[in-house]
Chains A and B, each alone.
Chain A
């Protein structure tokens, strides 16, 4: 992997056409890892459900937010369609550090647009180095989908981009499955050797009451953390939460409806500790894998 020079702009692109591998979750973790490292950044999203801006809400609005149609193939019929739809992404090229979340099925279309637009040359001219982050859960299907995405982007961008494979252990199967499979292990070694692919491992988040509730409603762990802390903060400050339907639904959902306020505080604190630790661990894994310290070095001098 070629390290980005501090002067170069970096565009992190979360990709993989396989759905349900945690692309947005990884994007959120990347964003919060950047924020935690004190790195100024912008972000964009191209998705049917624009989850990043939904979660970040008023904290930070996206520089680019494109909504794809459920029938994306019908949306992109000609080169002009690609150009018209994807060109707003260029706004991100002016940011020193930016993150782009490509939703399910968008990666292939994005690469097609990149090909039409000579994107490798465009980014080189603008001194922007893309870093493709292909997300996979440790199973053969999503692993091969991520590998395919990395190879396709590598065919186009060659050594003008960095490549990262993010293994997100959503199911708790562990990462051994890859080393235990000769073909997957061979593929992984090949990616490292020929493309300089870096590997980031996101640990499994063991389900507790809050996580189970969050998953039932398709919330990310990060959102679950946000909800839990909101209730906890309300309890700590003595606010009345009985009239808040959202918070009450959350409390009922985590099976804590019968608990007294002090009991609820203790319960939430214990539950949130696990999630908080996981977020911290994951942020560190991403910060190390993306070598975020180099941006810091660039800022410092």
Chain B
């Protein structure tokens, strides 16, 4: 079987994207996941618990892998943006009776009340440390260049806005006496474009910003 390169690349990209989402979710809700594991819930059950809270497919294996990565990450003292992870078990946590003992983590941590991707503002500000993107430097340099060199000419500035209400009232006043006057007028010819109003070729119109 021959694989189509573009198809494989597309799938890799999708996979990378999903991996980022899972990591962000797990790192942001690390303490809650620790608690759930301490309670003896399996990764399958945890994934099922998370699933309705987010709008994408949550796979137990992905959550588990991201959790292991988070454990390694937070085990580094420099990365302790969360409250301290202690080796003391949480006293008010009651493990599930039938849960396999070996699945329970050794470092249960304080408790989160709920799981939600929207609660990340309460979470560590920089859970994932990664090398700075080379593009970051490019972007900053580009923006600073525009700041220093000046922006390119962006055309005529917008006219002062008209007062819509006043303009309408004025139009109405002008119209009232005009309804009974001579309607024939074919004086100076307009200079507007001659495009036809069609969906394929939209007429060029003069808009006055309000």
A residues neighboring B (CB under 8 Å)? 31-32, 35-36, 42, 54-63, 73-74, 77-78, 83, 87, 90-91, 93-95, 112, 115-119, 121-122, 125-126, 144, 148, 151, 154-155, 158-159, 190-191, 194-196, 217-219, 222-223, 225-227, 229-230, 232, 234, 236, 238-247, 249-250, 253, 260-263, 265-266, 268-270, 272-273, 276-277, 279-280, 283
Contacts and interface: CB of A to CB of B under 8 A. Distances in A.
Contact of B186 (A195, A242, A269): A242
Interface of B: 6, 9-10, 13, 17, 20-21, 24, 28, 55, 116-122, 125, 132-133, 135-136, 138-140, 142-144, 146-147, 151-159, 161, 164-165, 167-168, 171-172, 174-176, 178-181, 183-190, 192-199, 202-210
Given A83-B135, A246-B194, A58 B155 contact: yes
Contacts of B151: 42, 63, 91, 94-95
Nearest to B24: A155
A190 to B, nearest CB: 5
A151 B186 CA distance: 59
Nearest to A42: B154
A222 B180 CA distance: 31
A239 B188 contact: yes
Contacts of B168: 269, 272-273, 276-277
Contact of A154 (B118, B157, B186, B203): B118
Contacts of A239: 187-190
Given A78-B9, A151-B118, A240-B189, A266 B154 contact: no
27 contacts: A35-B209, A59-B158, A60-B156, A77-B6, A78-B9, A93-B146, A122-B140, A151-B118, A154-B118, A159-B121, A194-B116, A223-B207, A225-B207, A226-B208, A236-B171, A240-B190, A246-B204, A249-B203, A250-B197, A250-B203, A262-B183, A266-B172, A266-B175, A266-B178, A268-B171, A272-B168, A280-B210
B190 A244 contact: yes
Contacts of B206: 57, 226, 230
Contacts of A240: 185-190
Contacts of B193: 246
Given A35-B209, A244-B190, A77 B9 contact: yes
Contacts of B203: 227, 246, 249-250
Contacts of B135: 83, 87, 116-118
Nearest to A37: B161
Given A239-B188, A265-B178, A269-B172, A249 B197 contact: yes
A234 B165 CA distance: 19
B176 to A, nearest CB: 8
A115 B185 contact: no
A223 B140 contact: no
Nearest to B203: A246
Contacts of A273: 168, 172
A94 B190 contact: no
Given A32-B161, A94-B147, 14 more contacts: A63-B151, A73-B10, A74-B6, A77-B6, A119-B139, A126-B144, A148-B55, A196-B121, A222-B207, A241-B190, A246-B205, A260-B183, A265-B175, A276-B210
A95 B147 CA distance: 8
B154 A238 contact: no
B133 A91 contact: no
